[in-house]
Every structure is written in structure tokens, then in C-alpha cells.
Amino acid sequence: MKFLIVDDEPLAIARLTRLLGSLGYTSIASASNGAEALGLVASREFDIAFLDVSMTGMDGIELGHILRERHEGLAIIYQTAHETFALQAFGVGAVDYLLKPYSAEQIERAIERVTAKAKPKELRLIAKAGDNHYLLTPGEIYYVKADLSEVMFRTDKGFSYYPKKISELETLLEPYGFLRIHRSYLINLRRVDEMETIDQSRIRFTFEGIDENVESSKEGAKQFRNRFKGEEE
């Protein structure tokens, strides 16, 4: 695989290059700002771009949007010291969001998410609401709610039923940006608009386009925070 690292800190580039090398990857290029990165991507092909968020000039979120428009097949992984930009990163379509300092194991998991996401070309789910049937893509689903031995999908069309357990959907939808935040809920991180901490530990998620929210369990909030928490090597 071919990697591009974009970061305005030389030490950060050197560390990530070293960690990728420890995983056996050697095709690695780097850029210190957005303009330099766009020049590299215009002349060379890359599979994954590791983007910092806070950079002088063009920040990583703006750069991510441009890369997504011009190079749809390029996977984006954010690596940053700031946890507050996670929702914006997933709005870009990022595969993962790593908080510095991260470990080689976290990088490996992020790369695995890229390869897992690349495998399914198209996923369509046939859900039912009364006598109506809907052919849905993962991107149309705001959240999934467990309902006995099946689940309910919340989309712009309202609620519809799908005949699988939520544990099965958790595995199926993970490559598409879904995260289990409660024993009864999977949320689509790419459709989340805001997050609010409640009761000192749980998280309330609101969604773009619908006037609804879903609350995590304490364990689900912990899992969410751990997903974006850096780990020392």
C-alpha cells in the first residue's frame, strides 16, 4: 500500500513513518502543508492519507474535503492531538480518527478498516415497514435500534424492520462508520450532528436531518471515548 502523511510537525512525520515501517510498509511520502499534499496527490497515486487537523494555512478538514472531491478512492485517516474535530473528520468521510500519541496497533487497526471498507462494493439492505419494502444503503441509516430478534432502521422514511440481531448488524455495518454505543443502539457516525455529555459520563447524540437523539450507556460512552483515545506504546 502507498501512504501519504500530511503534518506540519517533522517529528510527527518521522514517528508515523517509523511506526508504518514497523508494520512492514515502505512506500511512504510526506508533506508539511495542504498545498504540498495536493501537489503530490496530483502526480502520484496513494491508497491512504494520514492527515493532521491543525496546520498552518489549509487545515486538515479543508484538505480532506478537497481530497475527497478530487480523489474519491483515497482513504483518509486523521491523526491529531485534538479530539474535538472527530465529527468533522467523519463528515469528510474519514475511515478513522487517531489521537496522538497513538500506537502501531492502532495504526494497524485503522488500516484494517480501510481494507475492510474496500471489500464490499455495494451493500443494500431490504427493510420492511408494514406492506412497504425499502432497499437501503448504509448511508441512509441514521441509527439502528434492537427490537427483540430483529432491528429497526431509522431513515428519512421513518422506521423499518430488518430480520437480524443487532450483534450481526454491528459486524456488517462497522466498515461503513457505525459504532455500538448501547446494547440496543448502533449509530452512523457520519450522520451525527452534535454530541453532549450527560450525567457526567453518558453521551447524547443528535443527528443531521432529524429531530431525534440517541443516548449511550455508560459502557457505550466509554467505548466511544476509547475509540478516539491515544495509547502509549
Q: Is the pTM of this model over 0.85?
A: no
- Across the chain, mean pLDDT equals 90
Among 97, 118, 139, identify where a domain stops. Answer: 118
For residue range 88-107, list pLDDT tens digits in order.
888 888 889 999 889 999 99
The phi, psi pair for 93, rounded to 5°, reads 105, 20
Cα–Cα distance measured from residue 128 to residue 41, given in angstroms and rounded to the nearest whole number: 43
Claim to verify: residue 108 and residue 162 sit in the same structural domain: no
Q: What is the pLDDT of residues 129-148, one digit of tens each?
A: 999 999 999 999 999 999 98
- The CATH number assigned to the domain holding 61 equals 3.40.50.2300
Report the C-alpha gap between 27 and 103 in whole angstroms: 19
Is the pLDDT confidence value at 161 over 50? yes
Gyration radius from the chain CA atoms: 19
Range of the domain at 139: 125-227
Q: Are 59 and 23 in contact (CB under 8 A)?
A: no
Residues 189 and 154 in one domain: yes
Give domain status of residue 62, yes or no.
yes
pLDDT digits (tens, 9 = 90+) for 7-19: 999 999 999 999 9
Q: Is residue 40 part of a domain?
A: yes
**Residue 233 forms part of a structural domain:** no
With respect to residue 139, please indicate whether it lies within any of the assigned structural domains. Answer: yes
Say if residue 94 is in the same domain as residue 10.
yes
Our count of domains for the chain comes to 2
Contact present, 58 and 33 (Cβ < 8 Å): yes
